[in-house]
Every structure is written in structure tokens, then in C-alpha cells.
Amino acid sequence: MKVVVVGAGLGGVAAAVGLHRLGHEVTLFERGAELREAGTGIVVMPNGLRALEALGLADGVRGQVIHAARGGLRDWRGRPLLVTDAIQAQREIGTPAIMDRAELHRALRAPLPADLVRTATPVERLEPDPTGVTVISGEKPVTRADVVIAADGRGSRLRGQLIPGHPGLRRTGRMDLRGMLPRPPGLVTDLLVCQLVDRRSGAMFGLFPVGENRLYWFTDSALHGTPPGADEARRQMLSLMADWHPLVTALIEATPPADIYVDPITRLAEPLPSFAAGRIALLGDAAHAMPPDLGQGASQAFEDAAALARHLTDANPANVAQRLLDYDAERRPRTNRIMRAASRQSRMTSQTGVAGWFRDALLRAIPSRLATRQLAALWQALGE
Ligand SMILES: Cc1cc2nc3c(=O)[nH]c(=O)nc-3n(C[C@H](O)[C@H](O)[C@H](O)COP(=O)(O)OP(=O)(O)OC[C@H]3O[C@@H](n4cnc5c(N)ncnc54)[C@H](O)[C@@H]3O)c2cc1C
């Protein structure tokens, strides 16, 4: 079958490789001038790793699994609120990996022959008819396909075409900063794989190791109005977190603004009524953009890609529309559940005032063994 994938993000690349390996004739269209993934670190959860494994893409990612004895939530000074035994949780449900985004993208796209990729080709429109889909770029037809996978990200233009009337994205009122930097020599800290929350401002800071030599940090805080540039956002965060654990401000200060990414956080205003329309299907953020609080966005895109590869095994132009409906039936209920859980998690960590005080008191009262069991249960539920 002739398959077009639109969008060469993490999800689109994983899908293109999976479908190419099934023997389909794949073309991957990307609007950017080159194939690349910008950004800092990314957590790939155990369920995402399992999906990559099913696609034959887990080599190189498995080496990046997190080795941390503890995780959980702490207050802004680094005092434990909810300490989990990460080793025990990982024993039960598997280990997440934390990677440099650019390296992950490179590893995923490596098996894709270069002649299947068309960069600098923004797809503006898809024109389906009873025998196929015409792909339009630069107001001209660029190819025809038996099936098109729209993996064009959270701002997806094709989603609006496929699901007319859908309200699209909504801002959550939060902003995230992300940075990566060399690990300071000799640094020993129990803040790794932790999130620090502050009930006074509702802000959060998270810290992860990337391999042996680098650290990835992120902040999450309220956004009022237009998101600032990296310079101003860094200044604001240093002021907001001035009395936090000293490592927090030291790491933000040590990261040059050019290496800091600022994102206003968005999610789908409403879940989609379908991921499939005839011979066209949505995948990844285009289908289920969610807040990053559970670290599931890319893992869900990998699960989409693995499910799509399963449903399109031995598919042909005559049965592909039904196969895409099967893909939708498998994936949409699960991603809807995870979108809701991510929004709940975001509300929980950003609580302020009395609600924040009760949250902290409740978290402190949960024994570590129970917290570990709950974390394992959450991961298990996400992995099913
Ligand atoms: C602050 C933050 C932190 C996050 N942390 C994590 C994390 O730790 N773990 C995790 O799993 N997820 C995380 N995520 C989410 C994760 O980054 C996304 O879910 C994932 O990258 C989505 O991949 P995608 O391929 O669906 O979309 P994208 O990565 O957005 O890729 C879309 C691609 O399509 C291209 N494109 C767009 N329109 C067109 C067009 N018309 N024609 C051709 N090409 C087009 C774009 O150029 C892009 O290359 C985070 C997100 C944010 C904002």
C-alpha cells in the first residue's frame, strides 16, 4: 500500500519506520527544512518503551534507563512530601528511560531510508476520494496515497480539516521552562527524579539525570498573558524560586537562556470524536495533545505507532478504512483516560492556598511503602 505520513516528530517517525518495515511504500512529509527534534530531555515511560520494542526501535533507548533509588514529591525546600522507592516500583512495572530529545529522534529515524523523506514540504490539505487521497502542498498535488497518517503535532492543521468544528487547542494557564546542562562534577543530590512543589505559588521544579554526565530540569508555573522569551522567563523563574532549595536556582542560573525552552502549555479543548476518517488517521499530539504532567505524550504517540503497525499488517486499499476504525477503537478510549489523568495531575501539583496545604499534609501522611505501591499501580494502569 502507498502510505503517506505527515509530520516527522517522534510519533510520525516511529510510525513511518513501523509501516516501512511492514513492506508498505511509505513517504514521510515534513514541513521543516531538515529532520530534527529540538529541545532538552524527555522521559519515555515503560509503556512507551514497550511500544518502541514492538516496533523494533528500543535498541539504544534501553541503555538510557533511569537509575535512581528514590523519587516522589518534595516541597520547595527539598523536604520530602511523598517519597517513593523507585527501585521497587521499577521492579514491578519496568524502568522509564530519560534521553536527549535530539538523540532519541536520531535513533528512531536511523532505520528510515533517506529517499522516503521529503523535507521542506508542508502539507496544506488532503483531498480524499473513493480510491485514495491526494496530498496537497504549495497548492499543488504532490502525491497520491492509499492511506494518510496525520502526525502533524498539537497545532495540527489536518485535524481541523478531518474533524470540522472541533475547537482545537486550549491553553491551560501554565508555562513550562526546560533546560539541559552538564552535570556539575561531584554533584550528589537526593533531588534527582523528584518534583518540588510550592503551595505558595503553585510552581513546580523537576530534575532528571540524562546519562552519567547531564542533567535535565523543568519548571511549571502559572502563565499570565503572553509567554515571555527565554531570557525574561529565566529571570522570572529565578525570582519566583529565589528561596527554593539552592540547587534549583543554581541549575537554572547555570543554563544559558539560549538552551532554555519556554512552552505555554496547551491541551485539546475536547477529546476528538474519532482518530479516523475514511483513509486518514490522526496520531500523536495531533490526536491527543495533553499537558506534560504524566510524561506520557511521546509514549502515547509510540503506542499509536505500534497499534497502527499492528492494524495495518497485511492491510490493502480495500480494507484500510476498516483497519483505521479498529485503530481508533483501540486507541481513543485509552488516550482519553490518560489526557484526563494528565490534567488531574497538573491540577494536583499546582494547588495553592488551603488546598495546597491539605495536599502537602495528605502527601506527608502517606507511608513510603503505600506511595510506592500507588505509583506502581498508576504506572500499571497507564501501561495497560
Ligand atoms: C514542556 C513539555 C515537556 C514534555 N515532556 C515530555 C516527556 O517527558 N515525555 C513525553 O512522553 N512527552 C513529553 N512531552 C510531550 C511530547 O513532547 C509530545 O507528546 C511528542 O513530542 C509529540 O510528538 P508528535 O510526533 O505527535 O508531534 P510533534 O513532535 O509536534 O511533531 C509534529 C511534526 O509535524 C511537522 N508538521 C506540522 N505541520 C505539518 C504540515 N502541515 N506538513 C508537514 N509537516 C508538519 C512539525 O514540523 C513536526 O516535525 C512534553 C511536552 C512539553 C510541551
Residues 177 and 160 in one domain: no
Cα angle at 339 between 335 and 343, to 5 degrees?
170
CB 177 within 8 A of CB 235: no
Average pLDDT over residues 113-133: 97
pLDDT at 384: 58
Report yes or no on 160 lying in a domain.
yes
Query: What is the CATH number for 16?
Result: 3.50.50.60
Task: Identify whether 337 is part of a domain.
Answer: yes
Are residues 272 and 307 part of one domain?
Answer: yes
Say if residue 151 is in the same domain as residue 209.
no
Burial of 348 (C-beta count, 10 Å sphere; 0-12/13-18/19+): middle
- Out of 24-33, 82-91, 191-200, 208-217, pick the least confident: 82-91
CA 262 – ligand 1 centroid, Å: 14
Distance 330 CA to ligand 1 centre (A): 21
Query: Does some domain include residue 251?
Result: yes
Residues 108 and 236 in one domain: no
Residue 84 lies in a domain: no
Per-residue model confidence (pLDDT) at position 380: 66
The alpha carbon of 153 and the centre of ligand 1 are apart by a number of angstroms equal to 5
Amino acid in the structure at residue 353: G
In angstroms, the CA 252 to CA 353 distance is: 26
What does the alpha-carbon distance between residue 92 and residue 126 come to, in Å, rounded to a whole number? 45
342 and 356 fall within a common domain:
no
Shared domain for 15 and 59, answered yes or no, is yes
Q: What is the pLDDT of residue 67?
A: 62
What angle (nearest 5°) sits at the alpha carbon of residue 7, between those of residues 6 and 12? Answer: 95
Q: How far is CA 36 from CA 17, 161, 195, in A?
A: 15, 26, 29
Q: What angle do CA 235, 343, 230 make, to 5 degrees?
A: 20
Tell me: pLDDT of 62 over 60: yes
Under 8 Å CB-to-CB from 353, ≥6 apart: which residues?
199
The CATH number of residue 226's host domain is: 3.30.9.30
Q: How far is the CA of 329 from the centre of ligand 1 (A)?
A: 23
Q: Report the SS3 class of residue 346.
A: helix
Task: Establish if 194 belongs to a structural domain.
Answer: yes
Query: CB under 6 Å to ligand 1: residues?
Result: 6-12, 29-32, 42-43, 122-123, 151-154, 157, 176, 178, 263, 284-285, 292, 295-299, 301
* Residues 237, 297 share a domain: no
Distance 223 CA to ligand 1 centre (A): 21
User: What cell was used for 273?
Assistant: 470524536
Atom of ligand 1 nearest to the CA of 284: 26
> Which secondary structure element, helix H or strand E, spans residue 102, and what is its range?
helix 101-109
Shared domain check, 333 and 237? no
178-190, pLDDT tens digit by residue? 999 999 998 888 8
141-156 pLDDT, tens digit each: 999 999 999 999 999 9
Residue 132 lies in a domain: yes
Assigned domain for 94 exists = no
The rounded distance, in Å, linking the Cα atoms of 240 and 238 is 6
Cell 478510549 belongs to residue: 333
Domain span at residue 324 reads 2-64+101-169+268-347
In a domain, 123, yes or no: yes
pLDDT above 90 coverage of the chain, percent: 80
DSSP state of 35: -
Q: In whole angstroms, what is the distance from residue 207 CA to residue 70 CA?
A: 12
Does residue 372 share a domain with residue 316? no
- 292 and 214 in one domain? no
Cα 140 off chain centre by: 32
Residues 239 and 365 in one domain: yes
Mutation to probe ligand 1, out of 37, 42, 261 (largest number of atoms < 8 A from CB): 42
Do 38 and 124 fall into the same domain? yes
- Number of domains the chain is built from: 2
Alpha-carbon separation of residue 9 from 38, 264, 293 (angstroms): 10, 19, 20
- Give, using CA atoms, the residue closest to atom 39 of ligand 1: 152
